[in-house]
Amino acid sequence: MTTRVRGRRVLTLILAGGKGSRLGSLTKYRAKPVLPFGGTYRLIDFALSNCVHSGLSDVWVLEQYELHTLNAHLANGRPWDLDRTRGGVQVLPPFTSDGSDDARLASGNAHALHVNAPLLREYRPDVVVVLSADHVYRLDLADVISHHLDKNASVTMVTTSVPEGETAHRFGNVVLDDERRVTEFAYKPDEPISDVVTTEVFVYDAPHLFETLDRLAAAGELTDFGHELVPALVSEGRAFAYPFEGYWRDVGTLDAYWEAHQQLLAGKLPPLDDPAWPTLTYHAPRSAARLEKGAVVEDSLVSLGCRVAGRVERSVLSPGVVVEAGAVVTDSVLLNDVTVRANAKVERAVVDEGATIDPNASVGTPHEVTLVPAHTHVEAGEQLEGDDLPTEQAPRRLNLR
């Protein structure tokens, strides 16, 4: 069945093609949307779960980098009940062609929409919803679509507020009038024009979107939304905001990724397993976590398959993590199958999957986040802090479950 909201045909696109280079070695061998979060989830799970719970079942995923890691997690849409004969999850190929013999990658998210426009037009949508695949939030997208239709908008941007001057320069900034019409837009400005930013959730009037993309592409290079597309729509006067007051976080930097986990532990996020709006995911089965005699676990999340005999405080342990007796893990995020040997110390760190911290080794400091790449071996007595180790130590194959 075709997805409809108030009688309009709705197509949802999840943009999952970014390199995620600001996350360093965490995204060197995996697509950013499948970076683990909260122990058992992946970043793209939030966008997919929002779609399903909002009644949006026609979901197309635009891929580009390390797409084999993303495809393995998507599992044809099965974990989200999107493996359907009609509709459901579809994956759009990352390569485009301009009619010549040379295939190339899309040069930005707006360009990706334009080169896939022939496929999008075949669906004959009235409304196109565009989501990023790497943000942590919970939002009923059907409410945003209804707001968009009520305003007869060309584009509706879901917005949130950040402390002025703190991180606003990392996003699209907007200025609104009394009707929540967007009167000014600045994309990642050096000096923020307001504390209201876009969350990279957009609802477009589909025919107008396609016409605008064609016009901009004919006039010159088409790259990201914020450079050409959104400014053009704002200038026409039919761009509106949908203020979002719930938790939303872009975890595109190491510090933001670590901080979001600390906020999760502090209860600042909606429950990820809320029966009314569960975050759905796909992962291999593991046995229950084992807490051995002498283990101390405080204010932490311990996933399936973990074995803890040491001390864990204010930390998130992904499946299969081992913390041996005498080891201490504080304020850290340990991804799948990390091993912390006896009497080792890990503090304020993100340790990627399969890494081993040998006995009496020390990782991290109280003052900055230390990143340990996948399958790194921190030898006994070694002290590691600050920037991550050379990424050449990481393998080209990661555990996709």
Both tokens assigned to 368: 């900055």
List beta partners, residue 157: 202, 241
Q: Are residues 365 and 227 in the same domain?
A: no
Residue 55, in any domain of the structure: yes
pLDDT at position 37 is 97
Residue 35, in any domain of the structure: yes
pLDDT at position 395 is 46
Q: E strands, 28-122, where?
A: 36-37, 41-42, 58-63, 88-92, 95-97, 103-105
Q: Are 74 and 61 in contact (CB under 8 A)?
A: yes
Residue 399, in any domain of the structure: no
- Residue where a domain terminates, one of 201, 231, 265: 265
pLDDT at position 88 is 85
Q: Are 195 and 175 in contact (CB under 8 A)?
A: no
Residue 284, in any domain of the structure: no
Rounded to the nearest 10 degrees, the angle between the axes of helix 67-74 and helix 44-53 is 40
Residue 398, in any domain of the structure: no
Q: Are 374 and 389 in contact (CB under 8 A)?
A: no
The string over 145-162, giving b where at least 16 C-beta atoms fall within 10 Å of a residue's C-beta and e elsewhere, is bbbbbebebbbbbbbbeb
Q: Are 53 and 140 in contact (CB under 8 A)?
A: yes
Instruction: Provide the greatest CA pair distance for the chain.
Output: 69
Distance CA 330, CA 347 (A): 5
Integer CA distances (angstroms), 67 to 31, 32, 70, 152, 174, in order: 6, 10, 5, 36, 33
Q: Are residues 35 and 170 in the same domain?
A: yes
pLDDT at position 226 is 84
Q: Are 304 and 290 in contact (CB under 8 A)?
A: no
283 CB-near residues (< 8 Å, 6+ apart): 40, 319, 401
Distance CA 349, CA 136 (A): 20
Tell which residue, 10, 223, 209, has the closest CA to residue 105: 223
Q: Are residues 219 and 358 in the same domain?
A: no
Split into its structural domains, the chain has a count of 2
The string over 220-249, giving b where at least 16 C-beta atoms fall within 10 Å of a residue's C-beta and e elsewhere, is eebbbbbbbbbbbbbeeebbbbbebeebbb
Q: Are residues 308 and 351 in the same domain?
A: yes
CATH number for the domain spanning 352: value is: 2.160.10.10
Alpha-carbon dihedral 195, 134, 36, 262, rounded to 10 degrees: 10
For the chain, which ranges sit under pLDDT 50? 101-102, 390-392, 394-397, 400
Q: Are residues 231 and 351 in the same domain?
A: no
pLDDT at position 105 is 62
Q: Are 51 and 168 in contact (CB under 8 A)?
A: no
Both tokens assigned to 286: 């593991």
pLDDT at position 399 is 57
pLDDT at position 394 is 46
- Residue where a domain terminates, one of 265, 298, 333: 265
What stretch of H or E contains 256? helix 254-265
Q: Are residues 250 and 343 in the same domain?
A: no
Q: Are residues 53 and 164 in the same domain?
A: yes
CATH number for the domain spanning 244: value is: 3.90.550.10
**CB neighbourhood size of 386 (10 A):** 11
Q: Are 187 and 241 in contact (CB under 8 A)?
A: no
- Residue where a domain terminates, one of 200, 230, 265: 265
Q: Are residues 250 and 110 in the same domain?
A: yes
Q: Are residues 146 and 53 in the same domain?
A: yes
pLDDT at position 396 is 42
Residue 279, in any domain of the structure: no
Q: Are residues 170 and 305 in the same domain?
A: no
Q: Are residues 103 and 215 in the same domain?
A: yes
Residue 205, in any domain of the structure: yes
pLDDT at position 166 is 60
Distance CA 373, CA 27 (A): 10
SS3 378: strand
166 CB-near residues (< 8 Å, 6+ apart): none
Integer CA distances (angstroms), 179 to 118, 120, 205, 252, 271, in order: 34, 31, 19, 31, 33
Q: Are residues 252 and 318 in the same domain?
A: no
Distance CA 327, CA 304 (A): 19
Both tokens assigned to 18: 């970014």
Q: Are 369 and 386 in contact (CB under 8 A)?
A: no
Q: Is 39 exposed, middle or buried (0-12, 13-18, 19+ CB in 10 A)?
A: buried
Residue 274, in any domain of the structure: no
For CA atoms 26, 188, 245, 154, give the dihedral sign. Answer: negative
Containing structural domain, residue 113:
4-265
